[in-house]
Chain A
Amino acid sequence: ETGVTQTPRHLVMGMTNKKSLKCEQHLGHNAMYWYKQSAKKPLELMFVYSLEERVENNSVPSRFSPECPNSSHLFLHLHTLQPEDSALYLCASSQELAGGHNEQFFGPGTRLTVL
């Protein structure tokens, strides 16, 4: 595998389910990100990790819980979601976090549908 991979690619869940999204980067990067992409809305940054430490949490509801066990893996744990949480969830990584100049490498996303 190369680049950034995400599993599953599609997920349908009920509002009472608990599920997890997985992201893995094979680039040796130190920073990882979760974004939410909804139709007709700008890309929303959710969480940022640098060297496995969370450095940003953009007022995301607690029903989304991130986990970064090592610099290559990032999870997004989901529980008691709402229909408005249906979206494409994108994972990205970059070499470093600081500087503003870091190119981000994105995974293909997980298309989440909450019924």
Chain B
Amino acid sequence: AQSVTQPDIHITVSEGASLELRCNYSYGATPYLFWYVQSPGQGLQLLLKYFSGDTLVQGIKGFEAEFKRSQSSFNLRKPSVHWSDAAEYFCAVGARGGSYIPTFGRGTSLIVHP
């Protein structure tokens, strides 16, 4: 079965600074990978996803993520953070041909200082 780890529970950045949120997965083959964002009082919204092909994936709201097979990672990045990016971020892993339910990480809470 697949698993996913988000090693950082909280990340604090200043507005305008760059951001990288870490996600590591465990799976025997190339998985499907997702990043979701949850703003306060809201449900989860998909930011981006990786299925195959180009390992650098562009998403909404200026986010991107890079799949690195050698490191079993799918880190989320943004070059310049806005105060409205403060939210909870979830990485999720889906198995090819296996369990049809994506496995979610525990989430990383992003705090943005003015």
> A residues bordering B, Cβ < 8 Å?
4, 6, 33, 41-43, 45, 48, 56, 90-92, 97-109
Contact = CB atoms under 8 A, between A and B. Distances in A.
Given A42-B105, A100-B32, A103-B34, A90 B43 contact: yes
Pick the most buried of B32, B45, B51, B102: most chain A CB atoms within 10 A of its CB. Answer: B102
Chain A binding site: helix, strand, loop or mixed by DSSP? loop
Interface of B: 31-32, 34, 36, 41-46, 49, 51, 90, 94-102, 104-107
B67 to A, nearest CB: 14
B51 A101 contact: yes
A99 B52 CA distance: 14
A100 B102 contact: yes
B90 A43 contact: yes
A108 B95 contact: no
